[in-house]
Amino acid sequence: MNTADLNFFKTFLLEQKSSILNKTNEFRSQDLSARESISDEAEVASRDLSMNLSIHLHERDRHALYQIERALGKIHNKTYGQCEGCGEDISAKRLMARPFTDLCVSCMEEHEDTRPFLN
């Protein structure tokens, strides 16, 4: 992968990271303001449901942040875009769709085929 491509993906990943961190700050602000404005049980139930959904989304974002940080480390080490399964280059199309992926399509399919099914 050339320097221009690496710079493009680095910028793209940093923008995603910034977006997630901004959502986290908004989540905290909304939580604080919601706690102050509760007046009845229906609002409490609605807020709790909303908070549960927000927490789930927050956990997903936290995992994405970990993957983004890992991808940024690979850019720094000049290993970004190499499949951790076979060592081959990951296609640019796949990296555009999932910029923090660590497996090429073939290895991902193989990985999915070997995962046990949950009942």
Q: What residue type is assigned to position 20 of the chain? A: I
Q: What is the DSSP letter of 40?
A: S
Pick the more confident residue, 92 or 45. Answer: 92
Whether 1 and 80 have beta carbons less than 8 Å apart is answered as: yes
Averaged pLDDT, 19-29: 73
Return the bridge partners of 89, or none: 82
What mean pLDDT do residues 40-51 have? Answer: 66
Average pLDDT of the chain, as a whole number: 82
Comparing 115 with 108, which gets the higher pLDDT? Answer: 108
pLDDT of residue 119: 46
Domain ranges of the chain: 3-80, 83-119
Contact between 100 and 64 (Cβ < 8 Å): yes
Residue-wise burial string across 32-69, b where 16 or more C-beta atoms lie within 10 A, e elsewhere: eebeeeeeeeeeeeebeeebeebeeeeeebeeebebbe
Domain 3-80 classification at class level: mainly alpha
Sign of the Cα torsion 16, 19, 25, 26 reads negative
Q: Name the residue among 87, 113, 117, 118 with its Cα closest to residue 102.
A: 87
CA–CA distance from 93 to each of 34, 48, 56, 69 (Å)?
42, 40, 29, 21
In sequence order, what DSSP letters do the residues of 102-115 get, joined into one string?
Answer: -S-HHHHHHHHHHS
